[in-house]
A and B are shown apart, each in its own frame.
Chain A
């Protein structure tokens, strides 16, 4: 492959991640519902079945649990399957295989084996889809030792984290968000990434307040930072990238420097990722270094509504984030 960067959307980048993973490893295959007619998942899997054949891009019956279990089983037998759940809500039907099996086989069998499976869960919100088509459940899976949970916020990460997941020695939940699919970025050719090297990254440096987020919430934080710059507030935006295991060194250092910390998350508040990030900052940054109480921006603790007027107040926007940050300076 030649080296010229190519402008690529997040959705296309996911497809490129599949292509790279499957080209470099004949033990990698994709399995899930809709893979022979992948309109469900934007452009993120277009024509993969034509490129790699229906033996390696496997469309399945309407059986989330057995399909995920089968991917775990193939993983335990030397393969690197990527099982696709076009909506996270339906992935709940596979929870036993994810939580009880994939996450635990290494530990409970004495480190002698590992289900090297990638479980791709897609967050697909808005559009009046309502309570059972809109959930972002990353905090559940971040709670489970043994799983790696990746949440790409950029096109580069969407591609490279997927191929890293396919080569991971641990089971991975890879969560992408349809609201990110049109993000564009100039991408260099793909390269191998060791999943164990993935660390949080500063997406925008700043001096006045630290905003930590993952996935689509990073976009919100960056948009809010643009607005806040006009208000004279310089935000440092940290992309967590992997939310389990959680590396909080960077947000602790950043919050100690800026003195203010806001966590932005597309999940619910109670026992969620935002609260966990705040707790880590609270545990590790001396109160004397903080200029304002810690804060978070999350969904309200309610199921997703369908009516458009309710959707408008349900999902945080850049303006919501801006308003919360401004309160810290009041």
Chain B
């Protein structure tokens, strides 16, 4: 495209930023927790992909494999009193808040024990006791809802924040701009997190916007913003720490643009290298070399002397938890017929 501005530079060039992370003075225990959470997300999504291939579920699944560092880095500064909202690619945001693994697997398999009682599937997750207040697939729809959660947080006066995750495609929806403006003029405690994975469902950002950096929209609304390597959990966490602290202190909203890449297609278990104008096998392979998990592991091994056995033990624990969740979901019932009508309106007054 003519006049396209590559504002992201190395952040959008997968040949760069592939090495071991700079761990600075981050506590090792916390870094190990990040490894555990990112691996839980990846293995869970791989399991969901397998369940889809095996036709145990037909609910549309939008996988964020390759993007795990964003949710884990942001969630490091959140707690269960905060209000987290997400979109169609929401598994990682749910899991990063430590919402129940059994709940997400059962929900994807349409069971009554799922996080939404089997009524939502992959695209409608809900675990408010963990701070995860809902995801929906209408692009951008939870952005103003998070702003309203920010109104509630501000009125409650307890220092809680609302967070909304969305993608670069949602930045092309008018509602983002209305929401950024409203959050700014009302000085609401809202963190907007854009996972810029450089693709909408199929179109490269070069074909949709005149610049590849979406943080310019936050600038237009006078919102404090950070543009970070979304495959570096340290960078994401650092940006989130600043902006969330500021929001909690009453200084209004913040915006994170985390540049990342999804390893699977827009929807479904495949890589979709035949979909989109520029998504090539070479590009995908290059981005896999900027693997957020491997870069963290390299740093933990090289700089902190963590040995392989420690990771293997964590992996085994995660695999056991996922196996338990799958067993639990498979042995759960589907929703009762009556709920089809019972959930439309609140029940009669008691």
Chain A interface residues toward B at CB < 8 A? 29, 55, 58, 60-61, 63, 65-79, 81, 96-97, 100-101, 105-114, 145-146, 148, 168-170, 194, 196-197, 245
Contacts and interface: CB of A to CB of B under 8 A. Distances in A.
B138 A96 contact: yes
Contacts, number: 153
20 contacts: A60-B182, A63-B182, A65-B174, A65-B175, A67-B144, A69-B175, A70-B147, A70-B151, A73-B146, A73-B150, A73-B162, A75-B148, A76-B133, A81-B148, A97-B145, A108-B119, A109-B124, A111-B342, A146-B345, A245-B345
Nearest to B133: A76
A74 B345 contact: no
Interface stretch (B64-72, B110-118, B254-262, B300-308): B110-118
A112 B152 contact: no
Contacts of A106: 343-346
B251 interface: no
A61 to B, nearest CB: 6
Contacts of B150: 70, 73
Interface of B: 83, 85, 114-120, 124, 126, 128, 133-134, 136, 138, 141, 143-153, 155-156, 162, 174-175, 178-179, 181-182, 185-186, 335, 339, 342-346, 348-349
A19 B148 CA distance: 22
Contacts of A194: 349
Given A73-B162, A79-B155, A112-B126, A66 B182 contact: yes
A66 B117 contact: no
A114 B335 CA distance: 19
A170 B144 contact: no
B181 A66 contact: yes
B126 A110 contact: yes
A76 B145 contact: yes
A60 to B, nearest CB: 7
A69 B145 contact: yes
A84 to B, nearest CB: 15
Contact of A107 (B136, B179, B185, B344): B344
Contact of B349 (A65, A78, A109, A197): A197
A101 B136 CA distance: 9
A121 B155 CA distance: 25
A245 B181 CA distance: 36
Given A61-B182, A73-B146, A79-B151, A108 B141 contact: no
Nearest to B83: A77
B345 A63 contact: no
A146 B345 CA distance: 6
A69 B114 contact: no
Contacts of B124: 108-109
Contact of A101 (B141, B147, B156): B141
Contacts of A114: 346
B94 to A, nearest CB: 13
A110 B141 contact: no
Given A72-B148, A107-B119, A196-B348, 20 more contacts: A55-B155, A60-B182, A61-B181, A66-B181, A67-B182, A69-B143, A69-B179, A76-B133, A78-B152, A96-B138, A101-B141, A106-B343, A106-B344, A108-B136, A109-B117, A109-B124, A110-B118, A113-B128, A145-B344, A146-B345
Nearest to B128: A113
A149 B118 CA distance: 28
Contacts of B174: 65
A290 to B, nearest CB: 31
A76 B349 contact: no
B134 A74 contact: no
B116 A109 contact: yes
A37 B138 CA distance: 34
A194 to B, nearest CB: 5
Contact of A79 (B119, B152, B178, B335): B152
Contacts of B182: 60-61, 63, 66-67, 70
B151 A112 contact: no
Contacts of B128: 112-113
Contact of A97 (B126, B144, B146): B144
Given A67-B182, A69-B143, A96-B141, A169 B346 contact: yes
Contacts of A71: 148
